[in-house]
Chains A and B, each alone.
Chain A
C-alpha cells in the first residue's frame, strides 16, 4: 500500500539551489541556509520512492492559450522545460504513472476535475526544489507525480480549495494499490512581488506566521482570500497556497522537523519546512 511519509514546503526561486550550495560553511559560505541542506538529508532518511510535487508553470510548458486550474502528469517521464535558454541540464525526471492514474481515478469522481497530461515539460517550479534537495545528481533517486496549479491568472483556486485538493490526494494515496513511500512537496513563495511599483515587496511577519500556522492551524491560512494573499505575500508570493495542498495531504496532527527562512534569494523570501505525520 502507498503511504505518505512526509511533507515539505519549499521555495522554488530559480537561484535557490546555487545559493544553498555556495552557503556551505566548508565552501566558505555563511551557513544561513543550513535548514535547506538538513531537509535534503531528512528527505533521504525518509527514503521515499515517489514525490508528489505541487508546483506552478511559469509560461514554460503551459501558455495563456490554455489555463487548466489543476494539471496532473501521468507520463512515464518528464523533460526539463526550455525557459528560453535551452533545457536545464538536469536528468529527465522519471514518472510514476501508476500512482498518477490512481490519483486521477480517485480525484475526478470526487469532484476535482484534473487536466490529465501524458506529456508535460516541467520548469524551475519543479526542478529548483529537487536540485536544492538532492544536489547535482546523475539520475534522480525518486520518481515524481507532478501536479501544476494555476497561480498566475485570477481567479486562481482558493487556499481552501488547495487544502481540500491535498486532502483528496491524501485519501487517494492511502487507497492506492501500489506499494510506495510518498513524500508530498508544496513549492513556491514565500513573500515576493515581481511586478508593479510594489515589486520587491517582502513580508517577513506574514511568512513567519505562515510557517507557524501551517503546522498547527492551517485553518487560519485557508481562511484567507486570494486578494488577501496577494496583499500580504505579494502578487507572486500568493503561490504559497500550493504549500496548503501538501499540508492537506498529511494528517490532521503533524510536527515540523525542520524549518528555515532567509531574505532574500534574488527578489524572494526563501522558506522551507519539513513535516511528519504524528
Chain B
C-alpha cells in the first residue's frame, strides 16, 4: 500500500461511516426502507408517501430528503445505503442510479468510471 490507511472515521473523505450516532439518527428512515421489502408496503408508500413517512416517524429533514430522492442527504441524515436503496427499488429506480446520484454523477458517467477501474483510492 503506497499510502497508510486513515485511522479516524471522520478523516475518510466522502464517506459517512454508519456508526451508533448515525444508526440512532437514521432509524425511522432505515426502518421505513426495511418495510419496503414487502410489495404491499411499496404500494402503500406509493399511494400516500406523506402518511407513510408519518407512520415511521421521519424528521422533517428526512422527509424532505425522501421527497427529493436526495440519496446523499438521506445518508447524511443517518440513512444506510442498504435500507434507503429500497426506496429506489420501490420506485423502480435501478440501484446503480441511486449510487451514481449519491456521488453527484449521471448513471452513464458513473458506469464509465467503473469500467475504467473505479474511483481512484488516491483521489
B34 to A195, Cβ gap below 8 A? Answer: no
Q: How far is the CA of A230 from the CA of B11 in the complex (A)?
A: 11
A60, A191, A231, A235: most-surrounded residue (chain B CB, <10 A): A231
B102 to A199, Cβ gap below 8 A? Answer: yes
B7 to A225, Cβ gap below 8 A? Answer: yes
B15 to A193, Cβ gap below 8 A? Answer: yes
Query: Is A89 close to B, CB under 8 A?
Result: no
- Known A-B contacts A84-B86, A193-B15, A196-B102; A230 and B9 likewise in contact (beta carbons under 8 Å): yes
- Known A-B contacts A152-B80, A205-B1; A230 and B121 likewise in contact (beta carbons under 8 Å): no
Shortest Cβ distance from A236 into B: residue? B81
Q: Chain B nearest CB: distance from A230 CB in Å?
A: 6
Q: Which residues of B contact A209 (CB under 8 A)?
A: 1
B30 to A196, Cβ gap below 8 A? Answer: no
A264 to B121, Cβ gap below 8 A? Answer: no
- Known A-B contacts A153-B23, A227-B12; A200 and B5 likewise in contact (beta carbons under 8 Å): no
Q: Which range holds the interface residue count of chain B?
A: 35 or more
0/1 string, A62-92, CB within 8 A of B gives 1: 0111000000000000000111111000000
0/1 string, B1-29, CB within 8 A of A gives 1: 11001111101111111111001000100
B110 to A200, Cβ gap below 8 A? Answer: yes
Q: Which residues of A contact B115 (CB under 8 A)?
A: 264
A65, A197, A225: most-surrounded residue (chain B CB, <10 A): A197
Q: Which residues of B contact A224 (CB under 8 A)?
A: 5
Name 9 A/B residue pairs within 8 A (Cβ), A-sorted.
A59-B83, A84-B86, A154-B9, A154-B18, A194-B102, A196-B103, A203-B121, A205-B121, A235-B15
